[in-house]
Amino acid sequence: MSRSNTRNTTIGLMGVALAGMTLAGSAFAMQPLSEGYMLGASKSVEGKAPAQKAVVKKTAEGKCGEGKCGDASFAKNDTDRDNFVSRAEFEVAAPGNEALFVQFDANGDRKISEKEAFDYLKKTYAANGKPMPKGLFAVIPK
């Protein structure tokens, strides 16, 4: 290799190294976000990394705003109109979630009353630190 080519190669490699070091501190540098870009961006302040907080495990809330819980859902799933949702009715409504039936059925009588559904939803919202939305149940079951 000629002396000219060696010098050009060295200068080129130094240029790439300098560009890499310059970009590493720029706004376009890639940094992994554990929570997704929207959550990560909302927690950072002026380019500083957010302080780490204790991780709290939350339970799934479901989509109550889409008629998937409350009076309407209970009435829709109670196909035999006996004011209870049986295991068979539950499996039709939530296929693949048979283990969830046991969590709803607090008293273990193998059927879910509207009160048990209400209590389960209230407990789920409380576990997430949120109040249960008003209007899911016309009358709070007793």
Residues linked to residue 113 through DSSP beta bridges, in sequence order: 84
Task: Quick: pLDDT tens for 110-139.
Answer: 999 999 999 998 998 899 998 888 888 887
More confident residue, 117 or 67: 117
Q: What is the 3-state secondary structure (H, E, C) of the chain?
A: CCHHHHHHHHHHHHHHHHHHHHHHCCCCCCCCCCCCHHHHHHHCECCECCCCCCCCCCCCCCCHHHCCCCHHHHHHHCCCCCCEEEHHHHHHHCCCCHHHHHHHCCCCCCEEEHHHHHHHHHHHHHHCCCCCCCCCCCCCCC
Write down the pLDDT at residue 13.
Answer: 67
Structural domains of the chain, ranges and CATH numbers in brackets? 64-127 (1.10.238.10)
- Whole-number pLDDT of residue 141: 66
Per the prediction, the chain carries an average pLDDT of 73
Residue 16 is predicted with a pLDDT of 57
pLDDT (0 to 100) of residue 71? 83
pLDDT (mean) for 56-67: 53
pTM over cut 0.95: no
Sequence-distant (≥ 6) Cβ neighbours of residue 127 within 8 angstroms: 58, 59
